[in-house]
Amino acid sequence: MSKLVCYFTKAYSTGSASSPLSAATIERRTPTATDVQIQILYCGVCHSDLHFARNEWAFTQYPAVPGHEIVGRVTAVGSGVKKFKVGETVGVGCLVDSCRTCPDCRSGLEQFCAGMVMTYGSMDEHLNAPTLGGYAQSIVVTEDFVLRIPANLNLASAAPLLCAGITTYSPMRHWKVGPGQKVGIVGLGGLGHMGVKFARAFGAHVVLFTTSPNKVADAKRLGAHEVVVSTDADQMAAQAGSFDFILDAVSATHDINAYLNLLKHDGNLVLVGAPEKPLPVAAFPLLFRRRSLSGSLIGGLPETQEMLDFCGTHNITSDVEMIRMDQINDAYERMLKSDVKYRFVIDMATLT
Instruction: Indicate the SS3 state at residue 131.
Output: coil
Binding-site member from 4, 153, 293, 331 for a copy of itself (CB under 8 A): 293
Using the minimum distance from each CB to a copy of itself, give the nearer residue, 11 or 293.
293
Binding-site member from 296, 304, 317, 318 for a copy of itself (CB under 8 A): 296
Which of the ranges 117-125, 136-144, 214-222, 267-275 carries the binding residues for a copy of itself, by CB under 8 A? 267-275
The DSSP element (H or E) to which 301 belongs, if any, is: helix 301-314
Scored b (16 or more CB within 10 A) or e, 76-104 reads: ebbeebeebeeebbbbbbbbbbbeeebeb
* Residue 111: DSSP 8-state: G
Identify each DSSP E strand in 48-173 by its residue range: 70-77, 89-92, 95-97, 117-118, 123-124, 129-130, 138-142, 147-148
35 sits near a copy of itself (criterion: CB under 8 A) = no
- How crowded is residue 108: how many other Cβ atoms within 10 Å of its Cβ? 15
Question: Nearest distance from residue 191's CB to a copy of itself, in Å?
Answer: 12
34 sits near a copy of itself (criterion: CB under 8 A) = no
297 sits near a copy of itself (criterion: CB under 8 A) = yes
Q: How far apart are CA 38 and CA 90, in angstroms?
A: 8
Binding-site member from 72, 165, 190, 285 for a copy of itself (CB under 8 A): 285
Using the minimum distance from each CB to a copy of itself, give the nearer residue, 4 or 256.
256
Question: Nearest distance from residue 57's CB to a copy of itself, in Å?
Answer: 9
Instruction: Indicate the SS3 state at residue 328.
Output: helix
Crossing angle, helix 301-314 and helix 164-174, to 10 degrees? 100
55 sits near a copy of itself (criterion: CB under 8 A) = no
Q: How far apart are CA 128 and CA 214, in angstroms?
A: 49
258 sits near a copy of itself (criterion: CB under 8 A) = no
Question: Nearest distance from residue 300's CB to a copy of itself, in Å?
Answer: 11
58 sits near a copy of itself (criterion: CB under 8 A) = no
290 sits near a copy of itself (criterion: CB under 8 A) = yes
Which residues form the interface with a copy of itself (CB under 8 A)? 104, 109, 112, 171, 174, 257, 265, 268, 271-275, 278-297
